[in-house]
Amino acid sequence: MASINQLVAVSLGYVAFLFAIAFFAERAAVRGRGGWLRSPLVYTLSLSIYCTAWTFYGAVGYAARSGMEFVTIYLGPSLVMIGWWWALRKLVRIGRVHRATSVADLISARYGKSNLLASVVTVMAVIGVTPYIALQLQSVTLSLSIFSPPETAGSLNQFQAAFWVAFGLAIFTVLFGTRNLNANERHDGVVIAIAVEAVVKLVALLAVGIFVVWGIAGGIGPMMDRIDSSPIGEWNMDRSRWVALTALSAAAFLALPRMFQVMVVENEDERHLQIASWAFPLYLMLMSLFVVPIAVIGLDLLPAGSNPDLFVLTVPLAEGRVGLATLSFLGGFSSATSMVIVATLALSTMVSNHVVMPVWLNARAEGAQVSGDVRDVVILSRRASILMIIGLGYLYYRFSGGGAALAAIGLISFVGVAQFLPAMFGGIFWRGATRWGALAGLLVGFAVWVFCSLLPSFGPGTVLSVATFDGGLWGLGWLRPQALFGIEGIDPTVHAVVWSLTLNITAFVAVSLVTFPDPLERLQGAQFVNVFDHSTQARGWDAALATSEDLMIMSQRILGADEAQRLFRAEANRQGMPGQLPEPTQGFLQHLERELAASVGAATAHAMISQLVGGASVSVQDLMAVADESAQILEYSNQLEAKSAELTQTAGKLREANEKLTALSVQKDAFLSQISHELRTPMTSIRSFSEILRDTEGLGQVEKTKYASIIHGEAIRLTRLLDDLLDLSVLENGQVNLNLETGKLGDVLEQAVMATQAGPSGALTIRRRHVNEGVMLSTDLDRLSQVFINLISNAQKYCDADAPRLDIDVRDGAGRTEVAFHDNGTPIAAEAHALIFEKFARLNDQDGSGAGLGLAICREIMTRLGGDITYHAEAAGNTFVVHLPAQAA
């Protein structure tokens, strides 16, 4: 027989080995050489924490009592894994996309980040799982006691042993479970340790199984014969239990906090799930392969009354195989410890995040103002939670006395955690699920579970009185814990599963249908249900890159896609990284925070960045606050946007007005410059000749007369210029008073010709067709005459033909009377056409008698009269056409 001391030494050595592995794994991960730590194999093996000491020891005991029923506990998870595409795929994606740290976190996130819901789930999980932890402690001490000789049984204080085991596990969990506070809550050391333990327990169970089949029974054939002739040799399966337990184990597999931890939280790559989908059922199949043979041989070999839960140990011992028994002990030890570690880790995360931290933050009364020391507080709270949960497990073990059959407590725990399933999967697949529905379902299911499963497990007369068992709660017959609503004859476990889940789902659906979710809840619901539309296949999830990606997504939402991409690309370039995503360095984060602060304010930007980078250091309430704040900011920014659009419009109008004013100013300058020139030129001659006349002695009479007439001519020119300017100014300002008269066009033309012919130069020949000139006009005849005079005198001045000639032709154009003035002089250069009617547009003025205002005045007059004047270049000569106003004709 191995002595207790030897066994303890082996256990301690084994534990030291696990510590070392976990330590090196953490170190390798920190140094970035931990790729192998996250292989699909390790992922699959880590899932094996599903197989606890209950499985390792209890399955054989279960088989010894109920035959093949034990296998249902493995069939459910196998089906879930094989059917990964239906549910697990979505669960893992959602868990990763939303950074869910636990079942409670997932449920609370789905229902609008409700901390109430999270704390309810946490309390339920603690109540449901703590007995299970107690069960593991019990199995370790129980298995230890097997090795102690009967006469010295007293030397092993079971409670003391359990205490030291619990203590060791607490140390391990604190060390490797709260070592670093990752955004994604991954624990490389823990995962690698449980993977090693998974191998140990499989090897141990297979070794015992192979020994039993080939060492004792003598091969498969004889083994099968022995099975058939054993007390469990006939199929005697309760049909309802077969179905209910398979379904229950499937549900528990999905809802157990520790399974969520390894399956979702510790998941490195979604494709690992695809491999685990067949590799984990293979593991389960191997784990259960030799259960029945071991049970049958145990029943055969060992004296009646031996505890079948310990056949895995006692069979090799009875055969004198101490080494095998020790290996087997290590297998059981592994099963128990790995479960305790992960379950504690998962529960402590929940307790810390959803109970301790909110309370602490509220107590600090700072709310969303997250200061730097929060991470320390989180770690401290996490460690305290771990000690508390293991302590609770130990106390439960201590006070329950460790008597109940191992399997029973396992199933009760399963039913408890299965209550999470409707809220979880309802939330993932049904957008209509609401927070109140989830809460109602959870509470109803939990109450039914406590009443029908947990309390009755202590036996009649302990917690629930015998009267309650027989007559129902408060004497109500339909409230009997094992025959709800008076329906009797159902297996108690099936009864608890069916009623708790049925009422849970009913309450969940009914309340969801009648309540209305708040906006954040609806948003989250849509993101959860349609997770595959919103997220890309996340492969090769590098923690650093993932963070950058998240920062990018968040920044895009706040800054807009272009701006965010520009920012990130610039930073990536600066860091010398290829691609779009830079390393989230301290400097970049600060820079980004400032950029974001510009959009959403400093407090929010800080909270958002620390949410992504610091992970759990921001509480659920902060998230709520940020979400509400963002909504307000969005509205505010919409208003700003509208205002800014208005401003842009106004600015545009102002710019236009300014351009007009500038153009006007330029025109005014040019005009003044022109006027200056036109005034100064005649004045120069006047001044110069008047000085000559004054200062020159002995000028002849001829010269005196000549110079005086020059002065006179220039003075007249000046006067005319001033007249023209005033005339134009009056016309342009619209201050002119039209003097309406009725007269014949011919008379007006006659008057104009007369006026011009009176001038000094009479060389111009004017040809008219008097027959057409009988049109009667009703307009300002003097002004019209002014236009005609201008045109005729222009022809007189500028027509450079040898025999200058002007044809005045009255014609009917499109219902309006036109008067065309055609001369035979040199046509005006094409580039000057546009300027003809502009002020001071003297085209080829050498005699200096005109200021270039004549045609400008003509156009103004015609516009005032309601007509027009146009210029037409001819092959030989120029034509000005006066379009008379329609009503004038």
Residue count (the chain): 889
Report the residue number, 432 or 848, with the smaller CB distance to other proteins.
Answer: 848
Report the residue number, 242 or 425, with the smaller CB distance to other proteins.
Answer: 242
**Could you tell me which stretch among 108-116, 137-145, 241-249, 381-389 binds other proteins (CB under 8 A)?**
241-249
- From the list 61, 67, 177, 358, which residue makes contact with other proteins (rule: CB under 8 A)? 67
**Could you tell me which stretch among 207-215, 497-505, 691-699, 795-803 binds other proteins (CB under 8 A)?**
691-699
- From the list 237, 755, 828, 841, which residue makes contact with other proteins (rule: CB under 8 A)? 237
Residue 111 has a CB neighbour count (10 Å cut-off) of 29
Q: Which of residues 765-794 bind other proteins (CB under 8 A)?
A: none
**Is 85 an interacting residue with respect to other proteins (CB under 8 A)?**
yes
**Is 802 an interacting residue with respect to other proteins (CB under 8 A)?**
no
Report the residue number, 233 or 460, with the smaller CB distance to other proteins.
Answer: 233
Residue 30 has a CB neighbour count (10 Å cut-off) of 12
**Is 55 an interacting residue with respect to other proteins (CB under 8 A)?**
no
Shortest distance in whole angstroms from residue 690 CB to other proteins? 10
**Is 715 an interacting residue with respect to other proteins (CB under 8 A)?**
no
Find all residues with CB under 8 Å of 539, minimum gap 6, and list them: 269, 270, 271
- From the list 9, 20, 243, 834, which residue makes contact with other proteins (rule: CB under 8 A)? 243
**Is 289 an interacting residue with respect to other proteins (CB under 8 A)?**
yes
Report the residue number, 231 or 519, with the smaller CB distance to other proteins.
Answer: 231
Whether 843 and 858 have beta carbons less than 8 Å apart is answered as no
**Could you tell me which stretch among 233-241, 417-425, 482-490, 647-655 binds other proteins (CB under 8 A)?**
233-241
- From the list 228, 376, 812, 874, which residue makes contact with other proteins (rule: CB under 8 A)? 228
**Could you tell me which stretch among 229-237, 301-309, 386-394, 626-634 binds other proteins (CB under 8 A)?**
229-237
Whether 623 and 649 have beta carbons less than 8 Å apart is answered as no
Shortest distance in whole angstroms from residue 166 CB to other proteins? 36
Q: Which of residues 833-852 bind other proteins (CB under 8 A)?
A: 844, 846-848
Residue 360 has a CB neighbour count (10 Å cut-off) of 16
Whether 792 and 765 have beta carbons less than 8 Å apart is answered as no
Buried b / exposed e across 507-536, counting CB within 10 Å, b at 16+? bbbebbeebebeebbeebbebbbebeeeee
DSSP 98-162: TT--SHHHHHHHHTTS-HHHHHHHHHHHHHHHHHHHHHHHHHHHHHHHHHS-GGGGGGS-HHHHH
How many angstroms separate the CA atoms of 582 and 567, rounded? 10
**Is 722 an interacting residue with respect to other proteins (CB under 8 A)?**
no
Shortest distance in whole angstroms from residue 106 CB to other proteins? 22
Shortest distance in whole angstroms from residue 433 CB to other proteins? 24
Report the residue number, 583 or 691, with the smaller CB distance to other proteins.
Answer: 691
- The contact mask relative to other proteins for 639-678 (x = CB under 8 A, - = no) is ----------------------------------x--xx-
How many angstroms separate the CA atoms of 424 and 83, rounded? 17
Shortest distance in whole angstroms from residue 47 CB to other proteins? 14
- The contact mask relative to other proteins for 255-284 (x = CB under 8 A, - = no) is --------------x-xx-xx-xxx-xx--
Report the residue number, 6 or 684, with the smaller CB distance to other proteins.
Answer: 684
Buried b / exposed e across 736-759, counting CB within 10 Å, b at 16+? beeeeeeeebbebbbbbbeebeee
Report the residue number, 281 or 441, with the smaller CB distance to other proteins.
Answer: 281
**Is 66 an interacting residue with respect to other proteins (CB under 8 A)?**
no
How many angstroms separate the CA atoms of 509 and 436, rounded? 10
Report the residue number, 235 or 474, with the smaller CB distance to other proteins.
Answer: 235
Distances (CA, A) of 87 to 282, 343, 429, 740: 20, 22, 9, 95
Report the residue number, 467 or 666, with the smaller CB distance to other proteins.
Answer: 666
**Could you tell me which stretch among 33-41, 515-523, 553-561, 813-821 binds other proteins (CB under 8 A)?**
33-41
**Could you tell me which stretch among 63-71, 311-319, 320-328, 601-609 binds other proteins (CB under 8 A)?**
63-71
Radius of gyration of the chain (CA): 51
Half-sphere exposure of 545 (CA within 13 A, CB side): 10
How many angstroms separate the CA atoms of 62 and 430, rounded? 38
Q: Which of residues 402-461 bind other proteins (CB under 8 A)?
A: none
**Is 681 an interacting residue with respect to other proteins (CB under 8 A)?**
yes
Report the residue number, 562 or 695, with the smaller CB distance to other proteins.
Answer: 695
DSSP 154-207: GGS-HHHHHHHHHHHHHHHHHHHHSS---TT---HHHHHHHHHHHHHHHHHHHH
**Is 334 an interacting residue with respect to other proteins (CB under 8 A)?**
no
**Is 689 an interacting residue with respect to other proteins (CB under 8 A)?**
yes
Find all residues with CB under 8 Å of 372, minimum gap 6, and list them: none
Whether 509 and 496 have beta carbons less than 8 Å apart is answered as no
Shortest distance in whole angstroms from residue 22 CB to other proteins? 23
Whether 99 and 184 have beta carbons less than 8 Å apart is answered as yes
Find all residues with CB under 8 Å of 710, minimum gap 6, and list them: 685, 689
Q: Which of residues 491-550 bind other proteins (CB under 8 A)?
A: 539-542
